[in-house]
């Protein structure tokens, strides 16, 4: 695993990013497919977006929640609680570094 960069010292300081290989066949690509299938299954299922006539924001929140929960339950990702609680804040928008 890639070494994690130090957390920013203050809220709103730049948050260093970890490089991620997103190419086809990479570990990220495989996780993306697993999470995407879980999210799609939720959206199309009896508790999902189509059945409940949800807003776009509710669809996104539900799909992300389902995908993350699925990956966590499978043990494929972990929550770094120590890092999360040590941070002075978290960026809520992803910086686009790739087209």
Q: What is the pLDDT of residues 39-65, one digit of tens each?
A: 999 999 998 888 898 999 999 999 999
Mean pLDDT for 21-48 is 95
d(CA 49, CA 4): 36
Q: Tens digit of pLDDT for each residue in 64-82?
A: 999 999 999 999 999 999 9
Nearby residues of 98 by Cβ (< 8 Å), 6 or more positions away:
22
Confidence of residue 97 (pLDDT cuts 50, 70, 90): low
pTM value is 0.84
Domain limits of the chain? 27-86
Q: Is the pLDDT of residue 99 over 60?
A: no
d(CA 56, CA 44): 14
């Amino acid at each position: 695993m890639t070494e994690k960069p130090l957390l920013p010292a203050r809220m709103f300081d730049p948050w260093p990013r970890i490089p991620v290989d997103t190419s086809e066949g990479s570990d990220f690509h495989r996780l993306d497919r697993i999470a995407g299938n879980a999210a799609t299954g939720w959206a199309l299922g009896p508790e999902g977006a189509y059945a409940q006539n949800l807003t776009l924001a509710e669809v996104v929140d539900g799909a992300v929640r389902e995908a993350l929960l699925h990956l966590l339950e499978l043990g494929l990702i972990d929550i770094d609680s120590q890092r999360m609680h040590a941070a002075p804040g978290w960026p809520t928008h992803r910086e686009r570094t790739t087209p």
